[in-house]
Amino acid sequence: MIVKRRTFPLRIKINDAIQRRLPVNHPKLPEVIQDSMKTRAGHKGEEALDYYTSLLHEDEFHIFQGIRLKSGQTHFQIDSLLLSPSFALIIDAKNMAGTLTFHSPFNQMKRTFNDKTDTYEDPILQVKRHRLLLMKWLNDHHFPQIPIEYLVFSSNPSTALRNPNNDQEIYHRVCPPGKIIFKIEEFISKYKKELLSEKEYKKLSKLLFKSDVPSGSHLHQFKIDPSESLTGVQCPSCSQYAMERYSGTWNCTHCGITAKDAHHQAIEDYFLLINDRITNKQFREYLHIHSPKLATKLLANMNLKCQGTTRRSCYYTPN
């Protein structure tokens, strides 16, 4: 049973908004594009993992997709957590093309792709840290200690996996796509004894769901000032910020296309990059319109929450 479903990463939404709003010659743009590609690849790998775990019998596990927990002053995110009354399983998904070579003596992994080699921390080390943090989290919340297993899922079927030191942990813990279900079945066969009562199992599952802490904005990592972003309404056809509002619709002065709701994307960008609330005045300044009455009408038709009834009213998304 899936208790917590994976959501589309906020990080990707923010990166997309940055790319729409930054001038094409902005020095930070290549860094944003690179981060976006990496995050999208990671999300694709996690979705591949979700497909395989969906093949399990729904009564075998409570599944938490992309759960982020707090332990002390530390937050840790688990790509997929499978919980049963007998054991828990942490799975970390990696979606990397090329050849992955695991160098266990140094806890490193090298990826060779397109004649380029990059070095990363061994993902087994990362998932083992998550295991320790989850053990501490369970202890802090006064739950019985249950076995916690861990796997690294290599989601790309064309990725070559290399283990030059013949490390047994790598053989047992790193799984290509076709192996993951069989590895999970091994753990099910290994752990037969139920260590959590039905009441404890349900209580733990509810607490895990309630304790999930969504990740916040990562704009600070790029050190981009909001004043550097472009304002106005972007044309959905030619991508120019050349839309003007008249005769009840948006009209592009560059390519001539018309669009009734082109301002929706602009306000979504505002909420992602500037602030999670907007006033009538800020709306007009951001969209380059002059009429407070028109701004009120457009805001009222966007299914936004409104706080206050005066000219200082703020609008925000209902979620």
* Digitized pLDDT (tens) for each residue of the chain, 319 residues in all: 999 999 999 999 999 999 999 999 999 999 999 999 999 999 999 999 999 999 999 899 999 999 999 988 889 999 999 999 999 999 999 999 999 999 988 899 999 999 999 999 999 999 999 999 999 999 999 999 999 999 999 999 999 999 999 999 999 999 999 999 999 999 999 999 999 999 999 999 999 999 999 876 666 678 888 888 999 999 999 999 999 999 999 999 999 999 999 999 999 999 999 988 999 999 999 999 999 999 999 999 998 999 887 667 899 987 6
What integer pLDDT is reported at residue 137 of this predicted model?
Answer: 96
In a 13 Å sphere around the CA of 279, the CA atoms on its Cβ side amount to 9
pTM: 0.88
Strand partners, 75: 70
The H-assigned helical ranges of 150-241 are 168-173, 180-190, 198-211
End-to-end CA distance of the chain: 25
What integer pLDDT is reported at residue 202 of this predicted model?
Answer: 96
Both structure tokens of 272: 């992602």
SS3 label, residue 223: coil
Burial 109-123 (b: 16+ CB within 10 A, else e): bebeeeeeeeeeebb
What integer pLDDT is reported at residue 226 of this predicted model?
Answer: 82
